[in-house]
């Protein structure tokens, strides 16, 4: 099914701007030349600036979904001699745990709930760890962790700090230097509001020094860094998405920089949350990012039914949860090309659905 005439509030893919969509309609150019190297350099510089990466940081561009960014970061940086503390507050935390298990990286599955880990120092198991691995925004439940507090803890204990920022960069504050982050994993289809298919791993010098010689051809970061010196990737990159990324970074900058993007996301998230106060829905977590609102029905209705009804009756896409949470929560993304007017489509649909007049 093609959702062209649907209003989309799903946490990836998200609503894209016309400017980016138009680039997607063009012929994909040849890329082994200086013109495309400049595109790669532009993308790298823009990304590094956006996350306040320390001097000497580099970006690995992989043609794959975000999970490949997560997995390849673990593969290239953690080995048998490591001991990783993996924050697990939901589906994406569990994925990092699975990745560590798959690659036989010694790790602790650090299950957390109802905390943003401001107190990680007190909560973490008392063990010697070499790495802290976390999803800054645990998208499965809409939970944002305290990156500064975790960074302090990581630095104090000399741990490599790996942050999956896929669903919060561009909408929520991310500063590698301020939070002592060594690795940031990004992906095209969330806050960056591009098509899926490109994942980026940003490596601070501390991470670059620690890169391992690994048993993989496609995911060998050292090879990507070598090729990156001339603005190329070892294998065919997602050329069009790279061109869209270049345009998107320019767009963010033209609109007032990433601080302005974050401010806009916050305005939209606050507006949405304030506008649905009269409805029998409550916020699922006290630690919501600007990127997303997670809601629980308070009138006994099934969250899954609400999601299905919004799609069928109003052509509005929000996101259900799976498993045990399928009837308990649904998620509304504020990532991408969002305005108050666009958000009104969902707010009005919800009011109509409940038969409650919007105040």
Ligand X SMILES: *Cc1c(COP(=O)(O)O)cnc(C)c1O
Positions touching ligand X (CB under 6 A) are: 12, 65-67, 70, 92, 135, 137, 139, 164, 166-167, 187, 190
Q: Cβ distance 40 to 242 under 8 Å?
A: yes
Rounded Cα–Cα distance for residues 145 and 135 (Å): 8
Q: Would you say 91 or 106 has its CB closer to ligand X?
A: 91
Q: Would you say 70 or 120 has its CB closer to ligand X?
A: 70
| Cβ 309 to ligand X shortest distance, Å | 25
Q: Would you say 203 or 350 has its CB closer to ligand X?
A: 203
Q: Which residue has the CB atom at the shortest distance from ligand X?
A: 66
Rounded Cα–Cα distance for residues 178 and 53 (Å): 9
| Cβ 78 to ligand X shortest distance, Å | 17
| Cβ 208 to ligand X shortest distance, Å | 22
Q: Would you say 14 or 160 has its CB closer to ligand X?
A: 14
Rounded Cα–Cα distance for residues 62 and 234 (Å): 10
| Cβ 291 to ligand X shortest distance, Å | 9
The β-bridge partners of 282 are: 296
Longest dimension (CA), the chain: 62
| Cβ 320 to ligand X shortest distance, Å | 15
| Cβ 268 to ligand X shortest distance, Å | 18
| Cβ 337 to ligand X shortest distance, Å | 18
| Cβ 187 to ligand X shortest distance, Å | 5
Tokens of 341: 């007017």
Instruction: Name the helix (H) or strand (E) containing 200.
Output: strand 198-203
Q: Would you say 76 or 275 has its CB closer to ligand X?
A: 76
Rounded Cα–Cα distance for residues 53 and 174 (Å): 10
Q: Would you say 12 or 336 has its CB closer to ligand X?
A: 12
Q: Would you say 50 or 319 has its CB closer to ligand X?
A: 319
Rounded Cα–Cα distance for residues 146 and 240 (Å): 34
| Cβ 190 to ligand X shortest distance, Å | 6
Going by their DSSP bridges, the two strands 131-135 and 107-111 should be labelled as: unpaired
Q: Give phi and psi for 171, each to the nearest 5.
A: -105, -25
Burial group, residue 259, by CB count within 10 angstroms (0-12, 13-18, 19+): exposed
| Closest alpha carbon to 136 in 166, 177, 160 | 166
Q: Would you say 150 or 279 has its CB closer to ligand X?
A: 150
Rounded Cα–Cα distance for residues 247 and 264 (Å): 19
Q: Would you say 112 or 350 has its CB closer to ligand X?
A: 112
Q: Cβ distance 67 to 270 under 8 Å?
A: no
- Helix, strand or coil, per DSSP, at residue 214: coil
Q: What is the CA radius of gyration of the chain?
A: 20
Tokens of 89: 């507050």
Instruction: Name the helix (H) or strand (E) containing 148.
Output: helix 147-156
């Amino acid at each position: 099914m093609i959702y062209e005439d649907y209003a989309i509030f799903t946490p990836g893919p998200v609503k894209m701007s016309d400017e980016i969509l138009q680039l997607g309609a063009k012929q994909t150019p040849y890329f082994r030349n200086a013109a495309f190297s400049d595109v790669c350099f532009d993308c790298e510089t823009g990304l590094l600036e956006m996350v306040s990466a320390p001097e000497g940081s580099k970006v690995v561009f992989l043609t794959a979904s975000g999970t490949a960014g997560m997995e390849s970061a673990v593969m290239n940086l953690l080995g048998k001699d490591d001991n990783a503390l993996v924050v697990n507050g939901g589906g994406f935390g569990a994925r990092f745990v699975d990745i560590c298990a798959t690659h036989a990286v010694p790790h602790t599955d650090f299950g957390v709930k109802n905390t943003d880990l401001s107190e990680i120092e007190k909560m973490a198991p008392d063990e010697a760890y070499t790495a802290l691995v976390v999803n800054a925004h645990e998208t499965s439940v809409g939970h944002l962790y305290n990156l500064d507090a975790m960074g302090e803890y990581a630095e104090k204990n000399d741990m490599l700090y790996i942050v999956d920022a896929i669903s919060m960069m561009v909408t929520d504050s991310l500063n590698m230097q301020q939070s002592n982050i060594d690795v940031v994993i990004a992906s095209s289809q969330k806050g960056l509001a591009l098509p899926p298919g490109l994942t980026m791993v940003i490596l601070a010098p501390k991470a670059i020094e620690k890169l391992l010689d690994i048993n993989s051809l496609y995911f060998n970061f050292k090879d990507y860094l070598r090729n990156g010196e001339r603005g190329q990737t070892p294998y065919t990159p997602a050329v069009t998405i790279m061109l869209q990324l270049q345009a998107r970074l320019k767009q963010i900058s033209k609109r007032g920089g990433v601080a302005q993007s974050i401010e806009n996301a916050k305005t939209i998230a606050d507006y949405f949350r304030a506008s649905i106060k009269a409805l029998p829905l409550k916020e699922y977590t006290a630690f919501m990012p600007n990127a997303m609102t997670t809601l629980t029905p308070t009138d006994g209705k099934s969250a899954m039914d609400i999601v299905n009804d919004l799609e069928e009756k109003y052509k509005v896409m929000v996101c259900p949860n799976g498993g045990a949470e399928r009837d308990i929560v649904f998620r509304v993304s504020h990532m991408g090309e969002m305005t108050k007017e666009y958000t009104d489509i969902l707010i009005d649909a919800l009011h109509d659905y409940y038969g409650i007049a919007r105040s």
